[in-house]
Structure 1
């Protein structure tokens, strides 16, 4: 198992006497600007030289707010680090309140003619947008960024959500040289600190008087140095789930003569959401659609048929506006009128219509992959709702926001965690498991005619189901045909594609198939009269997606899958098989994956059969060394060549 490492004075983290070394805005040195690489990670394209975060409560005119002050200094080493010149600040909001950012100050420093020169961010270069139902975003890009630049920015976030403290994050995808983070909470207000990540880091805790609120506060102060980067490799759900950080949860208030507990269970969370007007009252208001549903379901008798009909109706008639949400953005009536809404508008409408049709349906609240895994019971950090129905003893999960989702085939982003069931009618409020995504299959059948000059041509037919079909449909619709085929030709080693056809790509039910003719300039290498052929041709795997030596977070494929390749290679007249790759069966521990490879040479053709399976959507990091080696051996085997010689 991967163990958390406790770090002491001589290790990665250590306590600093920062009071004697406080870094101020504008104190960038010439030495920092001249630095060519980060001392502790020479591969880093950028590094956080210093970050200071300070969170505290401030009371003015009987109004208490949570204030978070941020100051950050970033060094850019090369062009790959230019992306860190853009800063995005997420601001949480609900129906009645929202966070605001104030006092943004940002400066770029460069060396010009041997002297330090400054470029200050202009106010009109700061942009605010709504990115989801629960978040606004303030974004800016630093001016005049070059290789070697040092960037500084500071700002203040003012939040009305005084007990909803954002995660203290200590690890990023670039290294951190120094960081100080502190939080001041009123004495008697007990917070549970929930760490995440793969190291232990402990705060310095002490009590002091805070004159801003007129009472004693408990200070938790974190001082960190030389934090390594944690970069996102292929197949990760959300890397922020695994980077070192701490969450703060208000558990209780213990003051003289007063004790109040705020600790929540997931049942409490579900019951609170279920008690809101959207879930308690709005879901059963059917006047907006009852006549329409009656006409739609005329002649339908089974609950399963009614569910499929209503699901199809919502998908085809209501467009998702791109916003998440567990509460209505428009409400049922306005959503039906405008034919558009957020995730809650669409999926709660689906629940309401199913209930009207007599189907046992309820909402399930989730946190999507983009929104992190909730590490403790929380209302505000759940961001999405899907529909859930039970017919007989069989559960059905639905998300009608995606054009190509199906019943029990949810968008991959939904498979992040568990769900919170809200069944107000039965007074059931609890956490439940979502159905795991089923195995998606990709089947390829290829006929190849190989020529003596090494060129080849042939036909490829493929069939995809479940999430593979969903991904295909999304990609197919997102581009015009010329761009789509150009991208496919590039993906398939620059073959030329003709007579392309896709079937059932516009719907969402059942498998999708494609077929095309192809011409390949590089079907084989002709060396000294012999033809050297890679049997899988353009379908072979060429690059291992797993490159780092160790991985501290799970591998998330999104869904289990099975790829089947059937290739018929017609040998050129006058040639015979001189040698062919040996068969192979390769498996991962605990039946997590399987690779079967077989080449069957005959007089005029060679038949190749390959099975490649990943049987779990998520694979623990303890299996990473096996997975990396598994892919390495698959690539090596598929690279082995078939040799044809003249008769």
Structure 2
């Protein structure tokens, strides 16, 4: 913590150096000749300069927020080529959208000691609809080579004048120099919320802006030598930890006028709840009532009706992969076309559940790819699911995913809490999503050990909850022969036969996978003895947590338990010489447990291994415990079971855990 504090102080001190003006298209040969970045010699690329300048303009009574962007990137090697493809996100709603203009881009290469430029052709700039809320502008820089410099400039025009995009200070590659400035009308008070590891105090001044005819407050951030944001395994959304600053309009204070814009999540819920989608559209049941009556017939209990409606919606409607808290099609068009965005599907689900007499309401959420909202805002929510309160029990449902179930939501949904919009009862509040059930993966491996070191046998695996959901999702579009071939390689080049999977296409219950195997290297032969791995080819061999320290929480997505029952039949003429000691281990705070037991009989070896993580998220302060936990698992599973030949008709003594 102290180390990070000093890094932050050094970053702030660098502000005293100021920022040199950098003009588009004017580069120097020193940068073009550079082969590495001195502050991060392993970087594949570096942002030499980035400037973001935001200000307001008025034209014909219409106001806009304009953001000018200039970015210059140095590419060191082929691994840095990915930074030559750029994507600009443009927010939109039903009536307005952001646009990009004045986009110019140049690639500079060093040829015969001179800088030679290649201009981006406008025909290679593409605009696409990415989701209900966003368009994307994409382009790839031309003639990119090792050593290239990319110079890019454009202007963003936004009608959403009070929804100021966050300033981003940290990227996947280091930043040599960054300038971020915004001019806001004096009296319009914005709360500036820092995020991430590096906090920088801005320089604040006032001036007159003739573009709007008002005094403005200029807030400027100048940074030098910002380190890259390093990806780590099991991170929910790296943007949650990216250094920057968020802007929120909290009040307008002008002579003779004051208005507060500060709001609670209840205020946000009321605002959304008062829109036509939530106030009126959910009551338009004529789109489905005849069909639903047939579905409901023969379903006696409310729980049966909930399950039946959920299945019916999943069977009838297809998600178009677009998020949404508002209808894209509306109820009638959704049921006519049998597809829609997340709101089309899950608000239809809410309407049907209400029609069946259930206490059902929408719950607004921010999915993992939308980050965690830092303050109450309508725009911070991008998705809606269904919520049912039945006999004192909470049920959450998301019908967009083919293999989701009641209270088993797609992992993307488990990001934060939810905002309940209960218009009939006039209840608008935060609700806690029911955390994922523990997913269990259980393996039973029966193996016959032969005196030449080969093994053969059967494996039966049963997966529940999110393990089952993920398996179904991954397997559904795979060719089984290719899957089995990949599985053979994954398990150390074993041979697999008679592979089968049960309940693959269902969304309820677990998945069962079975196969026979032959392992040519099942046991290692040495000095007349056989050395077996306790879990055969199911052994964990690599610790997923290798870094010395962890900056971000570890997000497993869901709590889980992995259970292994391995039963070895010994070859004739062999006995057990030694087995590892048994072990029971816990992570402090009951975060996880590990159990290892071995049982020996005359011709059998039975190994039981369980390890489980009891929470979806493990915070950085417990990272050392988690890392050591996995280290101990790997160490224990690597300890061999030793078989030796029986001599003179007598069995040798056995040591180890029982």
TM-score norm. by structure 2 comes to 0.95
The CA deviation at 1:134 is 0.6
SS of the equivalent of 1:395 reads strand
Q: How do 1:33-432 and structure 2 match up within 5 A?
A: 33-432=32-431
The whole-number CA distance in structure 2 between the counterparts of 1:489 and 1:124 is 46
The CA deviation at 1:117 is 2.1
Contact 1:12–1:226 (CA under 8 A) maintained in structure 2: no
Shift in alpha-carbon separation, 1:452–1:123, aligned structure 2, 3 A = farther
Farther-moved stretch of structure 1 (424-433 vs 290-299): 290-299
The whole-number CA distance in structure 1 between the counterparts of 2:2 and 2:459 is 44
The whole-number CA distance in structure 2 between the counterparts of 1:397 and 1:256 is 49
Contact 2:461–2:514 (CA under 8 A) maintained in structure 1: yes
The whole-number CA distance in structure 1 between the counterparts of 2:467 and 2:142 is 42
Aligned to 1:526: 525
The whole-number CA distance in structure 1 between the counterparts of 2:164 and 2:56 is 11
The CA deviation at 1:29 is 2.3
Contact 1:13–1:226 (CA under 8 A) maintained in structure 2: no
The whole-number CA distance in structure 2 between the counterparts of 1:431 and 1:127 is 39
Contact 2:11–2:226 (CA under 8 A) maintained in structure 1: no
SS of the equivalent of 2:404 reads coil
Contact 1:6–1:201 (CA under 8 A) maintained in structure 2: no
Kindly provide the CA deviation profile for residues 415-443 of structure 1, in whole angstroms up to 9, marking residues without a partner as x. Answer: 00010100011111111111011111110
Aligned to 1:608: 607
SS of the equivalent of 1:137 reads strand
Kindly provide the CA deviation profile for residues 80-108 of structure 1, in whole angstroms up to 9, marking residues without a partner as x. Answer: 22221111111111111111111222222
SS of the equivalent of 2:286 reads coil
The whole-number CA distance in structure 2 between the counterparts of 1:311 and 1:453 is 55
Contact 2:55–2:183 (CA under 8 A) maintained in structure 1: yes
Aligned to 1:14: 14
Farther-moved stretch of structure 1 (465-474 vs 405-414): 465-474
Farther-moved stretch of structure 1 (116-125 vs 587-596): 116-125
The whole-number CA distance in structure 2 between the counterparts of 1:188 and 1:78 is 48
SS of the equivalent of 1:118 reads strand
Shift in alpha-carbon separation, 1:78–1:636, aligned structure 2, 3 A = farther
Shift in alpha-carbon separation, 1:12–1:443, aligned structure 2, 3 A = farther
The whole-number CA distance in structure 1 between the counterparts of 2:453 and 2:36 is 47
Kindly provide the CA deviation profile for residues 559-595 of structure 1, in whole angstroms up to 9, marking residues without a partner as x. Answer: 0001100001222222222322222222211010111
SS of the equivalent of 1:74 reads strand
Shift in alpha-carbon separation, 1:160–1:137, aligned structure 2, 3 A = same
Kindly provide the CA deviation profile for residues 18-53 of structure 1, in whole angstroms up to 9, marking residues without a partner as x. Answer: 45x212222322222222222112222222121111
The CA deviation at 1:251 is 0.5
Contact 1:9–1:15 (CA under 8 A) maintained in structure 2: no
The whole-number CA distance in structure 1 between the counterparts of 2:172 and 2:588 is 30
The CA deviation at 1:162 is 0.4
Contact 2:8–2:198 (CA under 8 A) maintained in structure 1: no
The whole-number CA distance in structure 2 between the counterparts of 1:140 and 1:429 is 43
The whole-number CA distance in structure 1 between the counterparts of 2:32 and 2:625 is 43
The whole-number CA distance in structure 2 between the counterparts of 1:24 and 1:196 is 30
Shift in alpha-carbon separation, 1:528–1:142, aligned structure 2, 3 A = farther
The whole-number CA distance in structure 2 between the counterparts of 1:398 and 1:16 is 53
Contact 1:364–1:388 (CA under 8 A) maintained in structure 2: yes
Aligned to 1:514: 513
The CA deviation at 1:4 is 6.9
The CA deviation at 1:529 is 2.8
The CA deviation at 1:116 is 2.1
Farther-moved stretch of structure 1 (118-127 vs 470-479): 118-127
Contact 1:7–1:13 (CA under 8 A) maintained in structure 2: no
The CA deviation at 1:392 is 1.2
Aligned to 1:439: 438
Aligned to 2:565: 566
Contact 1:445–1:461 (CA under 8 A) maintained in structure 2: yes
The whole-number CA distance in structure 1 between the counterparts of 2:504 and 2:2 is 43
Contact 1:78–1:148 (CA under 8 A) maintained in structure 2: yes
Aligned to 1:29: 28
Contact 2:11–2:224 (CA under 8 A) maintained in structure 1: no
The whole-number CA distance in structure 2 between the counterparts of 1:374 and 1:3 is 28
Farther-moved stretch of structure 1 (86-95 vs 101-110): 101-110
SS of the equivalent of 1:65 reads strand
The CA deviation at 1:257 is 1.0
Aligned to 1:5: 5
The whole-number CA distance in structure 2 between the counterparts of 1:129 and 1:81 is 25
The whole-number CA distance in structure 1 between the counterparts of 2:314 and 2:147 is 51
The whole-number CA distance in structure 1 between the counterparts of 2:316 and 2:604 is 52
Q: How do 1:544-555 and structure 2 match up within 5 A?
A: 544-555=543-554
The CA deviation at 1:2 is 8.7
The CA deviation at 1:249 is 0.3
Shift in alpha-carbon separation, 1:639–1:76, aligned structure 2, 3 A = farther
Aligned to 1:474: 473
Q: CA RMSD in A?
A: 1.6
SS of the equivalent of 1:287 reads helix
Shift in alpha-carbon separation, 1:509–1:10, aligned structure 2, 3 A = closer
Contact 1:450–1:457 (CA under 8 A) maintained in structure 2: yes
The CA deviation at 1:364 is 0.3
Farther-moved stretch of structure 1 (565-574 vs 438-447): 565-574
Shift in alpha-carbon separation, 1:108–1:528, aligned structure 2, 3 A = farther
Aligned to 1:631: 630
Farther-moved stretch of structure 1 (411-420 vs 594-603): 594-603
Unmatched 5+ stretches in structure 1 = none
The whole-number CA distance in structure 2 between the counterparts of 1:499 and 1:427 is 58
Contact 1:110–1:118 (CA under 8 A) maintained in structure 2: yes
Contact 1:596–1:610 (CA under 8 A) maintained in structure 2: yes
The whole-number CA distance in structure 1 between the counterparts of 2:12 and 2:540 is 38
Unmatched 5+ stretches in structure 2 = 647-658
Farther-moved stretch of structure 1 (404-413 vs 290-299): 290-299
The whole-number CA distance in structure 1 between the counterparts of 2:402 and 2:82 is 32
Kindly provide the CA deviation profile for residues 379-401 of structure 1, in whole angstroms up to 9, marking residues without a partner as x. Answer: 02210000000111101000000
Contact 2:501–2:514 (CA under 8 A) maintained in structure 1: yes
SS of the equivalent of 2:380 reads coil
Kindly provide the CA deviation profile for residues 329-362 of structure 1, in whole angstroms up to 9, marking residues without a partner as x. Answer: 0000000011001000000000000000000000
